[in-house]
Every structure is written in C-alpha cells, then in structure tokens.
Amino acid sequence: MTKRVLLGMLTPSSNTVLEPISQAMVAGLPEVSVHFSRFKVTEIALSASALAQFDDSEILRAAELLAHAKVDVIGWNGTSSGWLGFEADVRLCERITSVTGIAATTSMLALNEVLASTKVKQLGFVTPYLDDVQGRILANYGALGIACRGERHLGLQDNFSFSEVTRQQIIDMTRMVAREAPQAITVICTNLNAAPLVDGLEQEVGIPIYDTIATVIWKSLILAGVDPTRVTGWGTLFQKAA
C-alpha cells in the first residue's frame, strides 16, 4: 500500500471556499488527502479587533489539533501577512514547527518563493479587500522590490462575503489587470473562488496567475515529498518544482 500523505491546513473560520478547492486540487493524487483546523476570522481590516484575529496563540492551538492527525505538513491557508508583514508568517511557521515538530508553510510565503524564483518585479493584484488593506499589501511588496503593475480590489470587509464574489467578477478583474501587462498576476485571498478559473485565464491572457490557495497546496506537496507537477488543470504554477 502506498504511504498516505496528509496535508494539514489552518483555515479561517468563515471560509467556505478553500476546503473544497484544496480537495479538488489533489483529487488526482490518490495517496494525498487534505485536513483542516479552523480558528476565528470573520473580517479583514486594519482595526485592532480585526488584526487581533491573527494572534499566534489562536493559530497555534489550531495547529496542535492538526498535529493530532499526524499530518506531514501544516499550511496556513490564508493571506494575513500580506498586510501584517511577511515576517509574521516566517515567525508563525517557526512557532508551528517548534510546537508540533511538523514542517510549516503559508500561502504568502509560497507565493513569494515563486515570485523570487521567476524573478517577477512587476506584479498585478486581484483581491476583495478594503482600500487600506490593499494599500498595505502593495507597500509590503514594494519593500520586496516588486512593483504593482495593475490592481483591482472590491472594498469588502466581511470575510464570508468574499466567497460570494462571482466568477464573472473575478474574471473581469483579472482581465483588467492583465491589460497592464504585468509579469504575473496574483489573486490574494483564500476565500475567493478563483483557483478553478486560473488555467483558462492563463491561456486567455498569456500571463502566469498565482492563486493563494494554489500556492500553499503547491508548497505543501513539495514539503511532503510529492511532485507538484502531478497536479494538472490548475494552472502553470504546479509545473514548477522546488
């Protein structure tokens, strides 16, 4: 019997998109399954109460529960370091591994790894977020030397509402960003139903598109010793080996 590979995902409590998409992405890998642990996240904003949702202690409790399932890797399937600062995810991964002994990654750190390896310096952004949250994300990427080349955001705050953004809205935003001719486009939010659209959109606009549900699954597979190129139909990201 082939050894099972168990991917653990830390999930915002109000997210209804990432679980079915994550399962669908690995459906062609019979030995791989994805398992989830939730912690409270209901809004995305820069207020003190919204930022407090991402206190490491809450996330670590959820990670410890995943460790009970003996998962091979723990991924934070969320994008909070986009506005908190990427060092927040570096610290979180170190703490998860210290507490559980399990390798850890995040949507944003995996995205940044891909951007670095492909030498992207002009990036397009698609998100559902508020103006100030979007501004913080763009500033954090600017500090990495990655300039914004086209962006669209929806001005939403309620995390659940992100899941109700229509596919056509996502397609339209991506097409508009693509007109600015960035080297790549990223969809930053793990509660947007964007990942199933990536393969077709990449073929249409001729630009790599990196969805943040896809990035954490891609890196988690690598950390668990699974070749990500076995995942097909979800965009060019999965054809990139670490």
Report if residue 237 sits inside a domain: no
Residues 142 and 190 reside in one and the same domain: yes
Residues 172 and 188 reside in one and the same domain: yes
User: How many structural domains are present in the chain?
Assistant: 2
Q: What is the CATH number of the domain that holds 99?
A: 3.40.50.12500
Residues 75 and 153 reside in one and the same domain: no
Question: What per-residue confidence (pLDDT) applies to 221?
Answer: 98
Classify burial at 20, counting beta carbons within 10 Å of its beta carbon; exposed 0-12, middle 13-18, buried 19 or more: exposed
The model's pLDDT over 79-119, given as tens digits with 9 standing for 90+, comes to 999 999 999 999 999 999 999 999 999 999 999 999 999 99
Q: Around 27, how many Cα atoms within 13 Å sit in the side-chain half-sphere?
A: 10
3-state secondary structure the chain: CCCCEEEEEEEECCCCCHHHHHHHHCCCCCCEEEEEEEECCCECCCCHHHHHCCCHHHHHHHHHHHHHCCCCEEEECCCCHHHHCCHHHHHHHHHHHHHHCCEEEEHHHHHHHHHHHCCCCEEEEECCCCHHHHHHHHHHHHHCCCEEEEEECCCCCEHHHHCCCCHHHHHHHHHHHHCCCCCEEEECCCCCCCHHHHHHHHHHHCCCEEEHHHHHHHHHHHHCCCCHHHCCCCCHHHHCCC
Joined together, the tokens standing for residue 106 give 């995040």
- Residues 6 or more apart whose CB falls under 8 angstroms from that of 125 comprise 134, 137, 138, 148, 150, 151, 152, 153, 177, 185, 186, 188
Residues 66 and 140 reside in one and the same domain: no
Report if residue 240 sits inside a domain: no
Residues 132 and 168 reside in one and the same domain: yes
Instruction: Please check the confidence at residue 1 and state whether its pLDDT lies above 80.
Output: no
Mean pLDDT of 73-78: 98
Mean pLDDT of 8-24: 98
Residues 68 and 161 reside in one and the same domain: no
Instruction: Please check the confidence at residue 55 and state whether its pLDDT lies above 80.
Output: yes
Say what the alpha-carbon torsion angle 89, 112, 46, 88 is, to the nearest 10 degrees.
20
**Per-residue pLDDT band at 241 (split at 50, 70, 90):** low
10 Å Cβ neighbour count for 68?
Answer: 10
Q: What is the CATH number of the domain that holds 199?
A: 3.40.50.1860
**Per-residue pLDDT band at 242 (split at 50, 70, 90):** low
Report if residue 241 sits inside a domain: no
Domain holding 161, by residue range, is: 118-211
Note the pTM of the prediction, 2 decimals: 0.96
Share of the chain above pLDDT 70, in %: 99
Report if residue 67 sits inside a domain: yes
Residues 93 and 30 reside in one and the same domain: yes
Residues 15 and 34 reside in one and the same domain: yes
The model's pLDDT over 120-169, given as tens digits with 9 standing for 90+, comes to 999 999 999 999 999 999 999 999 999 999 999 999 999 999 999 999 99
Report if residue 238 sits inside a domain: no
Mean pLDDT of 156-184: 98
Residues 188 and 226 reside in one and the same domain: no
Report if residue 100 sits inside a domain: yes
Question: What per-residue confidence (pLDDT) applies to 240?
Answer: 78
Residues 16 and 100 reside in one and the same domain: yes
- Mean of per-residue pLDDT scores for the chain: 97
Residues 101 and 219 reside in one and the same domain: yes
Report if residue 239 sits inside a domain: no
Residues 136 and 103 reside in one and the same domain: no
